[in-house]
Amino acid sequence: MKLHTIFMCHLLLSEILLCLPIKRTAIVPAIFRGLGKHTNKRKSLEQLHMSSSFTYVTVKTEGCTEGERYWNERNMRMARNIGEQVMDSDSERNIVIVGASHVIDLEKELQTNYPDLKIVLAGE
């Protein structure tokens, strides 16, 4: 049986915007050097997950419950699509780039439903 490895990278919207064409001088890299390093830490990923999955609330409303259900279903669909494509590929290593707030759920779903996959998060 072939072992597949997924290298999961993640981006925040602010980091994506920085990828847009900008004037490349010595100043720009100096200003933005290290930007996003905090998002590679598991604690930051867990905070992003909680705030995006409608679970970072003191009083849970019907809207929060519905939002959380949608978020979880979306992550399950994403994990299924990623898992199926990786398992069907001939490659042993795969890179998956997702939004930072999806990482925690996707990692859980992929480990549960695709135990043969080795998941490596960016920065680990």
pTM for this predicted structure:
0.70
Measured CA distances, 108 to 43, 80, 112 (Å)? 15, 12, 6
**In the prediction, which pLDDT does 21 show?**
45
Specify the 3-state DSSP secondary structure of 55: coil
Q: Which residues contact 37 (CB under 8 A, 6 or more apart)?
A: 123
Amino acid code (one letter) for 95: I
> What is the tens place of the pLDDT at every residue in 28-50?
555 555 555 566 678 888 888 88
- Specify the range with the lowest mean pLDDT, choosing from 12-16, 74-78, 83-87: 12-16
- Specify the range with the lowest mean pLDDT, choosing from 2-11, 65-74, 87-96: 2-11
Amino acid code (one letter) for 113: N
For residue 84, pLDDT over 90 is answered with: yes
For residue 97, pLDDT over 80 is answered with: yes
Amino acid code (one letter) for 72: N
